[in-house]
Structure 1
Amino acid sequence: MDKEKYAIIDIGSNTMRLVIYLKEKSGRLKEIENVKVVARLRNFLSDEGDLMKEGIRVLVETLHSFREVTNHHRLDEVKCVATATIRQAKNKQEILDCVKKNTDFTIRILSEYEEAYFGYLAVVNTTPYNNGITIDIGGGSTEVTYFHERKLIHFHSFPFGALSLKKQFIVGDIPTEMEMITLREFIYEQFSQLDWINGKELPIIGIGGSARNMVQIHQEYASYPIAGVHQYLMSREDVFEMNQYLQSLSFSELQKVEGLSKDRADIIIPAVEVFRQLVSIVGASHFALSRKGLRDGVFFEELTKEFGISVFPNVVEESFYELATDYNINLNHVFHVTNGAVIITELLNKAGIISTTKEDELFLKRGAFVYNLGSYIDSESSSQHTFYLLANRTIDGLFHKDRMIVALIASYTSKSGFKRYVAPYSQWFTKEELHTYRMLGAILKFAYSLNATKRNIIKSIDLHVDSDELTFTIICHHDWKPEQYQAEKQKKHLEKLLKMPITIIFSKEK
């Protein structure tokens, strides 16, 4: 039986893209094909506003090539959406008729609202933000939204994009000093129309190819140690620095910049200038990237029809349940291990042995949820696989640093293993933070040993503290010998961190 696949064609002003997704058993859509054609349809708009015959030819030929790919995947139904250039073309009906006649695709022209809404929808369903401002710079339009408590409050679509700004203000491959001044004045004037963004002091979430390219350039520039751009964070100063850096380069140097698509070399400067201006006007402390955008938003719209919702109640919880499904995590076992780890942490806190925060407890719970996840691949090297999978898989709703913390806690086996895993990222954390994460990892490992056979035999856990010794009393429903063996074996990690010997007393419930 064929696996369930979905496809969408996004006809933008700069690029046309065909993306094919595979629906995994968790319900998550995994991208399996991403075919891009730099069609630059915007350049085929005449002064009168018509898409010229050459532009229509490029559009139809590109759709024919996409059909070859969708036929290979045996996809009959393909969503096909178009944005600014087709929307703004005066002869849009002629374009739609020509496409319908010469291909078997039916184009849905998105309104300005729909284009902005789908971008917003993708952001609130795949990032941790409850409040923020999104920006999606296409080739021919720029959509800005403001959302509060995950609800769309305002949107605006500007009739300019990276390609049209280049065409309007820049004669050569890169702007002259005077062209930059004129461009800046124009962008500032445009953004000044929106009183609902001025001084909001909210994070800005960028969507689309220009934002992605700026982030990729910054990752290379900063020698970023992990893969993935979704939920990547840049400070206000980082955005300013990238803007200045790119404007200092010749066109031949721009074309060689790591992280920058060569076909965007001539339009990246106006795009990043737009980001810089928005960061300044909003007073944003940072800029984040959402790799999920319009195309994902179109599919999220389907949830409205299927389940009566369009916004997930909790993004990160949704992501962890996807992990549970994809890696066959035993949720009953997770519940008992998590409960044990939380009780042990609370007992140690109450006794004044450790001092952890609510945030630490949340990391502990998330680590417990995916502890030993790597055994899905190979039980012998479970720790390494656990760390690698969590550190390198995008987890919607978790920033990169938070994802790394969960990976360190969930993969904990020993001090040496912890130090080896954290080495490339050690500059992200203070010594105190690393000590806390080691402690949480050791507590989790100990709690895991108390349910080693997955029989859920623990009724209660108590702690008695002498001046130089900790005594845990574990009351059990059934025989505890396998758990006792594992607990005695694993307690050494806690003893080293707490610098106190631990005695474990198992007892049958009365």
Structure 2
Amino acid sequence: MKKQYYAIIDIGSNTMRLVIYLREQGGRLKEVENVKAVARLRTFLDEDNHLNKAGIERLVTTLKSFQDVLEIYPLQEVVCVATATIRQATNKEEIVIQAEKETGMTMRILSDQEEAYYGYLAVVNSTSISTGITVDIGGGSTEVTYFKDRELQHAHSFPFGALTLKEFFTKEIPTDDELQKLRIYLTKHFKTLPWLSDKEVPLIAIGGSARNLVQIDQNLKEYPLAGLHQYKMYDTDIKNVSNYLTSLKPEKLSKVEGLSKDRADIIIPAIEVFHSLYQITQADSFILSRKGLRDGVFYEQLSKETGSILFPNVLEDSIQELINDYNLEPKQILHVQYLTRKLFDCLKENGLIHLDKKDWNLLKRASYLCNLGEYIDAESSAQHTFYLLANRTIDGLMHKDRLRLALIASYKNKTVFKQFIKPYKSWFLKDERKRLRHLGALLKFSYCLDATKRQVIKDITCSHKNNKLYLTLHCEGDATPEEYQSEKQKKHVEKAIKKEIELDFKL
């Protein structure tokens, strides 16, 4: 299939971005290029909200630089959208005409409701969060939405952003009095929306300031996993980052690990927005979404083809992307999954191990991606499987859930499992660590029953007597390789159930 590329240009108040996407086999979009320019168009607005000549020139020059990148790709479509600064400019018609005249690009100015809506759309189509509040703070506006059961309930745009809020401060590092005045101002505005108060749901943040907040938090904690999307923080984490930044000398602020230089002067007011909103909503957590307005615009475009604005299976689609990317064999996946289920039910029904529906869902998910690392190197498949799954963004999975998936799908033996889990040991209680190890052993054993990927073993029956588990493996054809591998691997399951296992391969 010919590769399909799509581009979007996002003209914000602080930054302008060009993002190019490749459309995947399943229809989802994969980011392949991301070009950022710090235009700070907001600073070119005069007292009458008129974008001056220098501002229009900055806009046009940046668009022309983006065109050089666009020429590299055979593009299906280019979308150019503008947000708060252009929307609020009194000469916006003149800006649109001038930009089109000099670049040939048609600029679409988003309304405040559209801007909020696209943020919501991006979040529900890239996470498994069904109910939550989104916040997207730009340079000149802040959008908030509330969605329930994945359906948008309310949306609002406040006419202040990180660039306008920094006017509360005389210097980059604010005084306690200036911080207090900003907090009072934010609380007053957020309280004008009754639907924000005391929701006790996740607060999902979008945009560059939110990404910087997360990057700083990860660096302060020496966070061991890669990736920002679906990273979780709490009230105290946001406060700790704020306290850390406000304790610094101005010259040290721009050198903070994880903080972009162009955001050094606006990060503190942005964090105050997140913290004030967290308190007003009584949020249960703060979660970053790397997918935002730009993604939302294209989700809407794709819906014209699919007929649905919401992807029904965010996680399943993301797992399917992995299956496609690493050339995993669907027939083998389904067979290993079938054998794993038979074994799971056998152990559960005979009371040999305490497992529940949640455990099966974990096991089923991991069975799709078991030994994915073979794609890179068969000899060190477990190591590659673990690293890839633990460190790759999987839409619909929070970081801790991604780690659980990696630990089960990469299981080789107890020693290797302990090696993989060591940096994250404090993340799990002892009982959960043991359960993850047992689920991994179970999956690895089932995988050995299809070692040659021929589906020779068609079924499993079992019986439990005389303190021993008897597994009868019904075969069609020679199962010698499967017998060798499973005899070698069964000791890990035996340790989990504290019973000896006897295997009987029957033609």
The TM-score with structure 1 as length reference comes to 0.96
AA in 2 matched with 1:482 = P
SS in 1 for 2:20: strand
Matched residue, 1:438:
437
AA in 2 matched with 1:188 = T
Question: How far is the alpha carbon of 1:268 from its aligned partner?
Answer: 0.7
Does 1:122 pair with 2:103? no
How far, CA to CA, are the matches of 2:244 and 2:304 in structure 1? 46
Matched residue, 2:196:
197
AA in 2 matched with 1:330 = E
SS in 2 for 1:461: strand
Matched residue, 1:136:
136
SS in 2 for 1:303: helix
Matched residue, 2:408:
409
1:78-124 CA-to-partner distances (Å, cap 9, x unmatched) read 21110000001010001001101111211111111111111111100
How far, CA to CA, are the matches of 2:386 and 2:126 in structure 1? 22
Show structure 2 runs of 5+ residues with no match: none
Matched residue, 1:364:
363
How far, CA to CA, are the matches of 2:428 and 2:455 in structure 1? 35
CA contact (8 A) 2:14 2:39 kept: yes
1:411-435 CA-to-partner distances (Å, cap 9, x unmatched) read 1111111111112211211221111
How far, CA to CA, are the matches of 1:198 and 1:28 in structure 2? 35
CA contact (8 A) 2:38 2:262 kept: yes
CA contact (8 A) 1:26 1:325 kept: no
Matched residue, 1:449:
448
Question: How far is the alpha carbon of 1:405 from its aligned partner?
Answer: 0.9
How far, CA to CA, are the matches of 2:477 and 2:33 in structure 1? 52
How far, CA to CA, are the matches of 1:27 and 1:310 in structure 2? 13
How far, CA to CA, are the matches of 2:356 and 2:247 in structure 1? 45
Q: How many residues align?
A: 507
AA in 2 matched with 1:433 = E
**Which residues in structure 2 correspond to 1:292-303 (within 5 Å)?**
292-303=291-302
Question: How far is the alpha carbon of 1:500 from its aligned partner?
Answer: 2.5
Show structure 1 runs of 5+ residues with no match: none
Q: Percent identity?
A: 57
CA contact (8 A) 1:27 1:322 kept: no
How far, CA to CA, are the matches of 1:171 and 1:15 in structure 2? 23
Matched residue, 1:466:
465
Question: How far is the alpha carbon of 1:77 from its aligned partner?
Answer: 4.2
CA contact (8 A) 1:25 1:326 kept: no
Question: How far is the alpha carbon of 1:181 from its aligned partner?
Answer: 2.0
How far, CA to CA, are the matches of 1:481 and 1:12 in structure 2? 63
SS in 2 for 1:455: coil
Matched residue, 1:73:
73
How far, CA to CA, are the matches of 1:236 and 1:356 in structure 2? 34
Question: How far is the alpha carbon of 1:216 from its aligned partner?
Answer: 0.5
AA in 2 matched with 1:306 = E
Matched residue, 2:172:
173
CA contact (8 A) 1:251 1:266 kept: no
How far, CA to CA, are the matches of 1:76 and 1:347 in structure 2? 52
Question: How far is the alpha carbon of 1:76 from its aligned partner?
Answer: 7.8
Question: How far is the alpha carbon of 1:175 from its aligned partner?
Answer: 2.1
Matched residue, 1:398:
397
How far, CA to CA, are the matches of 2:378 and 2:172 in structure 1? 55
Question: How far is the alpha carbon of 1:280 from its aligned partner?
Answer: 0.4
**Which residues in structure 2 correspond to 1:267-306 (within 5 Å)?**
267-306=266-305
CA contact (8 A) 1:23 1:30 kept: yes
**Which residues in structure 2 correspond to 1:85-484 (within 5 Å)?**
85-167=85-167, 169-484=168-483
How far, CA to CA, are the matches of 1:455 and 1:395 in structure 2? 29
How far, CA to CA, are the matches of 1:378 and 1:402 in structure 2? 25
Once the two structures are overlaid, the 10-residue window that deviates more, 257-266 or 65-74, is: 65-74
Question: How far is the alpha carbon of 1:244 from its aligned partner?
Answer: 2.5
How far, CA to CA, are the matches of 1:291 and 1:506 in structure 2? 50
How far, CA to CA, are the matches of 1:386 and 1:224 in structure 2? 20
CA contact (8 A) 2:5 2:74 kept: no
How far, CA to CA, are the matches of 1:457 and 1:482 in structure 2? 10
Question: How far is the alpha carbon of 1:2 from its aligned partner?
Answer: 6.9
Question: How far is the alpha carbon of 1:30 from its aligned partner?
Answer: 2.5
Matched residue, 1:45:
45
AA in 1 matched with 2:20 = I
How far, CA to CA, are the matches of 1:182 and 1:482 in structure 2? 72
1:51-80 CA-to-partner distances (Å, cap 9, x unmatched) read 111111111111111111212335484211
Question: How far is the alpha carbon of 1:130 from its aligned partner?
Answer: 0.3
Once the two structures are overlaid, the 10-residue window that deviates more, 462-471 or 92-101, is: 462-471
1:264-318 CA-to-partner distances (Å, cap 9, x unmatched) read 1111111100111111011112100000101111110112211101111121111
Matched residue, 2:64:
64
SS in 2 for 1:72: coil
How far, CA to CA, are the matches of 2:364 and 2:77 in structure 1? 41
AA in 1 matched with 2:214 = V
AA in 2 matched with 1:72 = I
Matched residue, 2:22:
22
How far, CA to CA, are the matches of 1:343 and 1:248 in structure 2? 58
1:345-368 CA-to-partner distances (Å, cap 9, x unmatched) read 221122221112222111100111
CA contact (8 A) 2:6 2:76 kept: no
SS in 1 for 2:133: strand
How far, CA to CA, are the matches of 1:91 and 1:388 in structure 2? 52
SS in 2 for 1:394: coil
How far, CA to CA, are the matches of 2:196 and 2:385 in structure 1? 42
Q: 1:76 to 1:27 in 2, by over 3 A?
A: closer
How far, CA to CA, are the matches of 1:296 and 1:76 in structure 2? 16
AA in 2 matched with 1:68 = D
CA contact (8 A) 1:387 1:410 kept: yes
SS in 2 for 1:42: helix
1:399-457 CA-to-partner distances (Å, cap 9, x unmatched) read 11111111111111111111111122112112211111111111111111222233334
Question: How far is the alpha carbon of 1:196 from its aligned partner?
Answer: 0.4
SS in 1 for 2:71: helix
CA contact (8 A) 1:131 1:150 kept: yes
CA contact (8 A) 1:251 1:265 kept: no
Question: How far is the alpha carbon of 1:135 from its aligned partner?
Answer: 0.2
RMSD of Structure 2 on Structure 1 (CA) = 1.6
AA in 2 matched with 1:119 = G
Question: How far is the alpha carbon of 1:176 from its aligned partner?
Answer: 2.4
Matched residue, 1:36:
36
Q: 1:75 to 1:344 in 2, by over 3 A?
A: closer
